[in-house]
Amino acid sequence: MNTSILLFFTSLLFTLNVQAARLAIVIDDVGYRVNAENKIFQMSVAVSIAILPNSPYGRKMAEKAYQQGREILIHLPMAPLSKQPLEKYTLHPAMNREEIARIIQDAIQKVPHAVGMNNHMGSAMTSNFSGMEKVIQELSHRRLYFLDSVTIGNTQVTKAAIGTSVPVLRRNIFLDNTQTEAETRHQLNRAIALARKQGSAIAIGHPHPTTMRALQQTLATLPSDIELVTPSMLLSSAPTTKNDNQIVRNCIKPRESKPAPATSSDYLKMLGKALSNNVIVNSLNRHMQKLLGHYRAQETPNDSGKPEVRQTTENKMAGKTKPQQKDDQTGAQKTKDACANF
Ligand SMILES: [Zn+2]
């Protein structure tokens, strides 16, 4: 075959890092500052929001986000270790099962369309195993995932979810512990680097003006190998079992390992399939299909002595090349479909 074509696509494959790294961004504490929070609604719909259930505008924000197809989490207040002003109905480790269930049910009513929950504060609550067991048990009846904001190193969330049907995700990066645009941009770059390294990353920010500006800038120039996703898109349908790490791994869709191509034609097919997942090279894929057709026309029968069934192969490839979806087409329905086993 034409060696230069093979070299061209090989270099393209490595240069473009064809498997997109997935980054989820969640904005917490939504429901109090309408003007600042309205900036979120101008951003990519893949940016998710976590709404405080007893905030004055929480329901309104949930309805607005739902209209856009934006993913919604309940930002459930949980007791911190330090003394500070608390939200109404903050979960405390000393609460009994019924109280916790009632507060969660109330929050679900006040934040319609939520598909997940994460903790507001919560260093005392999330580090208490029996407290979090009660929370997780209630969530298991509600088909909500839990995103651990990780406000304390000793969090018991993952452990409390062992053996339950509740999927758990963990926050990797806080975007605005220091409220400056430069710091938030720096943290966004850290999140991007982590997503490339691990395959995915979750960053949490707040509706501070500095965070909104840094996000607007960074999202406008997001590298092509970074796919902005909702937290639920990082979940697989695998049940939570075994140890802490296993649970987190279960929640993250594994990368497929590709078998080595047997022939140069297989190699081009493999490249075409991989490249079809990349935003930039979708259009190039069409040219590859033409090249493949040209190459097959020159190809001799395969090892079995039978000629390739061209139509079948091409149909297969066409079926696997999904049309590219724009950000504003990724809605709640889509993420529910992708994660039907919450
Ligand atoms: Zn919060």
CA of 28 to the centre of ligand 1 (A): 5
Cα 153 to ligand 1 centre (Å): 17
> How many angstroms does the Cα of residue 120 sit away from the middle of ligand 1?
4
Q: Say how many Å lie between the CA of residue 87 and the centre of ligand 1.
A: 10
More confident residue, 47 or 311: 47
29/49 Cα distance (integer angstroms): 8
pLDDT score of 212 more than 60: yes
Q: Determine the distance separating the centroid of ligand 1 and the alpha carbon of 124, expressed in angstroms.
A: 14
Mean pLDDT value across residues 86-93: 97
Nearest Cα to Cα of residue 24 among 137, 90, 115, 108: 115
Task: List the domain boundaries for the chain.
Answer: 20-234
**In CATH, what class is 20-234?**
alpha beta
270-307 pLDDT tens trace: 344 434 444 344 434 444 444 444 433 333 333 332 32
The pocket of ion ligand 1, defined by CB under 5 A, consists of 28-29, 120
Gap from CA of 249 to ligand 1 centroid (Å): 25
* Residue 121 CA, ligand 1 centroid: distance in Å: 6
Q: What is the pLDDT of residue 104?
A: 98
Q: How far is the CA of 91 from the centre of ligand 1 (A)?
A: 13
CA–centroid distance, 75 to ligand 1, in Å, is: 7
Q: Which of 267, 147, 162 is nearest to 200 (CA)?
A: 147
Distance 167 CA to ligand 1 centre (A): 20
Q: How far is the CA of 122 from the centre of ligand 1 (A)?
A: 9
C-alpha 206/C-alpha 182 separation (Å) is 15
Task: List 229's β-bridge partners, or say none.
Answer: 24
- 211 Cα: distance to centroid of ligand 1 (angstroms): 14
Nearest to 114 by CA among 161, 165, 63: 63
Please, what sign has the CA dihedral across residues 185, 190, 196, 199? negative
* 41 Cα–ligand 1 center, Å: 19
Distance 270 CA to ligand 1 centre (A): 45
User: Which of the two residues, 58 and 290, has the higher pLDDT score?
Assistant: 58
Q: How far is the CA of 207 from the centre of ligand 1 (A)?
A: 10
Query: What's the gap in Å between 58 CA and the centre of ligand 1?
Result: 13
Handedness of CA 232, 234, 236, 239 (dihedral sign): negative
Residue 165 binned pLDDT confidence (cut-offs 50, 70, 90): very high
Q: Rounded to the nearest whole angstrom, what is the distance from the C-alpha of residue 80 to the centroid of ligand 1?
A: 11
Confidence (pLDDT) at 230: 98
Ligand 1 centroid–CA 175 distance in Å is 13
**Mean of all residue pLDDT scores within the chain:** 75
Structure tokens at 325: 């979806």
User: Of 205-219, 220-234, 250-264, 321-335, which gets the smallest average pLDDT?
Assistant: 321-335
- Ligand 1 center from residue 206 Cα (angstroms): 8
- In residues, how long is the chain? 342
Name residue, tokens 């260093």.
123
> Average pLDDT in the 31-44 region?
97
